[in-house]
A and B are shown apart, each in its own frame.
Chain A
Amino acid sequence: MSQPNPAQRAELLEEHLHAQGIIDPERIEPAVARAESSSGDVPSPAMGARVVARAWTDEDFKTRLLTDPVNTLSEYLDQAIPMAVVENTALVHHVIVCTLCSCYPSGILGNPPSWYKSFEYRSRVVREPRAVLAEFGTHLDEGVELVVHDSTAEQRYLVLPARPAGTDGWSQEDLATLVTRNSMIGTGLARTPPA
């Protein structure tokens, strides 16, 4: 007899947890669909892009986002959690990781990408962040101060990327198209607009 594969084990577990009254299997699919949604109204990179584009165009919102992120993000988050927002500029660049597991600003960005949870990223970005960023095609100027945030406690980090040049007068909707998921983790920068 071969060992059951993960799909078979998951099915057995589901039956067991249903019999125990711990889960209602009918609620799984809607929850998974929500996690998979790329709508800006649920936690996803699109929601993060909305937050960033708003901060780029509304100085008061940006100040509140940086100084009081828990309350400022409460209109987006399902659940109040400790949050820190760190701003990338021409002088300082922040990048986030969780070396111990996979802590991530999921309340805003949704589930993390596989690379964020990989042994490669978790082991290396604290030690050689410039080499890791280069693998993402991100090359920082030599003088830029680089700060790696290891999410070792319950506080979640969101990176506010720098607003690209050449976007004066852009609407929030247009600006949001320049905000990539990686730019909100710090492995990337926001896209520059086509010339």
Chain B
Amino acid sequence: MDGVHDLGGMHGFGPVPIEADEPVFHEVWEGRVWYMTRALGGRVTTDRVRHTIEQMPPGQYLTSSYYERWLWAAEHLAEDPEVLADTNRSRPRPSPTTPLSPSRFRPGDRVRVRNVVTADHTRVPRYLRRAVGRVEWAAFAWPNPTRSAETGTYGESELVYTVVFPAADLFGPPADHTLAADLAESDLEGT
């Protein structure tokens, strides 16, 4: 989804707020919300939790603290039918050692990021859509995040590739760095 959470590359946010020696939680309720959100998320998928946070109205998202966003998500997850049904209980969490299926792309291949955005959950950031990069390697296999968010369960795995992009292609010539992202095979096409 084209949501407010998709912040990569946006201008205007100012200096990074760096707090020296900060505590893990600043308020007691933050730790309790952290625990509850994880307990709720464990009944479905991490993708379902992420997609719930992404539903927060944009103005509210930008004016809430990190754990206020988690609290909002936890309150919504607590009413989520799939969470109440503990949908993912019988499914094991995917293993990173899942045997890799035959890969469509090889290291060095040029690939384009597909522009297939809907209102559903996606892990393709806006700034990478339609960009052309180079496959570094087939890093691991994992269930498709769009489906995991939609169903609340982890299904079949697909390959996820680390793809590198010249930042100048994404953000203009002053950028001289490399951007690396992990992208599902179904989000990529050959060029």
Total interface residues on A, using CB and 8 Å? 63
Q: Which residues of the other chain, A, contact B53 by a CB distance below 8 angstroms?
A: 101
Cross-chain contact of A82 among B5, B96, B167 (Cβ < 8 A): B96
List the one stretch of A55-63, A122-130, A158-166, A167-175 in contact with chain B: A122-130
Residue of B nearest to A110 (CB): B24
- Check if B35 sits within 8 Å of A23, measured CB to CB: yes
Residue among A70, A84, A127, A135 with the highest chain B CB neighbour number at 10 A = A127
A121 within 8 A of B: yes
Residue of B nearest to A81 (CB): B96
Residue among A31, A119, A126 with the highest chain B CB neighbour number at 10 A = A126
B142 within 8 A of A: yes
- Check if B96 sits within 8 Å of A80, measured CB to CB: yes
Q: Which residues of the other chain, B, contact A114 by a CB distance below 8 angstroms?
A: 17, 19, 22, 26, 66
- Report B167 CB to chain A, min CB distance, Å: 7
Q: Which residues of the other chain, B, contact A41 by a CB distance below 8 angstroms?
A: none
Say yes or no: A10-B179 contact (C-beta < 8 A), given A99-B7, A115-B16.
no
> Which B114-133 residues have a C-beta within 8 angstroms of A?
123-125, 127-128
B135 within 8 A of A: no
Q: Bound state CA distance, A9 and B39, in angstroms?
A: 17
Q: A residues bordering B, Cβ < 8 Å?
A: 6-7, 9-11, 13-14, 16-17, 20, 22-23, 27-28, 31-32, 35-36, 70-71, 79-84, 97, 99-102, 110-111, 113-115, 117-124, 126-130, 132, 135-136, 145-155
Q: B residues bordering A, Cβ < 8 Å?
A: 5-19, 22-29, 31-36, 39-40, 43, 46, 50, 53, 62, 66-68, 71, 74-75, 78, 83-84, 93-97, 123-125, 127-128, 139-140, 142, 145, 160, 162, 164, 167, 170-171, 175-184
Q: A20-B78, A82-B96 are in contact. List 16 more A-B contacts (CB 8 A).
A: A22-B83, A23-B35, A35-B34, A36-B31, A71-B97, A84-B139, A100-B7, A111-B24, A113-B22, A123-B8, A126-B8, A145-B178, A153-B123, A153-B142, A153-B145, A155-B160
